[in-house]
Amino acid sequence: MPTRAMIVVGGGSSSRFESEKLLEVVADRPLVAHTVSAVRDLVDRCVFVSRIDLVETISDLQLDVDVVTGGDTRTLSEMAGLAALGGEFDLIGIHDAARPLVSVGLVEELFQTAEVTGGAVPVLDPNTLLVERRLPIRIDRAVTVQTPQVFRGPELLAAYVRSAQGAYDAQDTVEIVHQFGEIEIAAIPGDLANIKVTYPDDLEFVRRRLEDPARNEPR
């Protein structure tokens, strides 16, 4: 079996949520605990990247992961997570800490696909019109991207080394790999339930799912 690692990135400011969303209690646990428990047992090592002011708080939750300090940007936080792994892994996933509803099935499919192709990301149809930022020209065949995003470890690390040489800052992992990597990236169907909690209404959706006694997905 190939070795697996997962980096859970929680270094954002939660500014659009207007409070610390990762610590919001849902189904008797902080939101972040649900996210970590959804992925931790599916990998050989799990690292949580935290905002500096939350490192102690996250560590005190005893999530059975290594907690490290992130950087000022998403890319720098991902690099901190990669550095904290402390060794090579065949496959590495990077996941948003604010996506607690990710399913075991999706995570497994991503790792299995990345093992074959080199990289795998979950995508959804946008269900809305997308246009270029500067001109109102429709963008065809566009999709929205979720996490986890999984890649072969050596290639992922090499892509980040090359990106660091130019101080490149990206929106997410797949952008770095696309710009600086040399592997095929497969798009697989994402999951509508795998939302990223950004606004209070998102939390209410998550709360309903996690507190539903009929929900039988393993956590």
Query: In this structure, what token pair is assigned to residue 99?
Result: 């996506």
Of residues 52, 57, 43, the one with CA closest to residue 94: 43
Q: Examine residue 217 and state whether it is found in any structural domain, yes or no.
A: no
Q: Which helix (H) or strand (E) holds 111?
A: helix 104-117
pLDDT of 174 > 60? The answer is yes
Q: Examine residue 35 and state whether it is found in any structural domain, yes or no.
A: yes
pLDDT of 158 > 70? The answer is yes
pLDDT of residue 43: 98
Q: 217 falls in which pLDDT band (50, 70, 90)? A: very low
Q: Examine residue 29 and state whether it is found in any structural domain, yes or no.
A: yes
Q: Examine residue 219 and state whether it is found in any structural domain, yes or no.
A: no
pLDDT of residue 18: 66
pLDDT of residue 41: 97
Q: 211 falls in which pLDDT band (50, 70, 90)? A: confident
Q: Examine residue 87 and state whether it is found in any structural domain, yes or no.
A: yes
Q: Examine residue 216 and state whether it is found in any structural domain, yes or no.
A: no
pLDDT of residue 203: 92
pLDDT of 133 > 70? The answer is no
pLDDT tens readout for residues 27-49: 999 999 999 999 999 999 999 99
Report the distance separating Cα 125 and Cα 121, nearest Å: 13
Q: Examine residue 103 and state whether it is found in any structural domain, yes or no.
A: yes
Report the distance separating Cα 82 and Cα 94, nearest Å: 9
Mean per-residue pLDDT of the chain: 89
Residue 171: CB partners within 8 Å, gap ≥ 6? 74
In this structure, what CATH number is given to the domain that contains residue 82? 3.90.550.10
pLDDT of residue 88: 87
pLDDT of residue 208: 93
Q: Which helix (H) or strand (E) holds 149?
A: strand 149-152
Q: Examine residue 162 and state whether it is found in any structural domain, yes or no.
A: yes
The strand pair at 149-152 and 91-96 is best described as antiparallel
The number of domains in the chain is 1
Average confidence (pLDDT) over 45-55:
96
Average confidence (pLDDT) over 156-180:
92
Domain residues for 136? 4-209
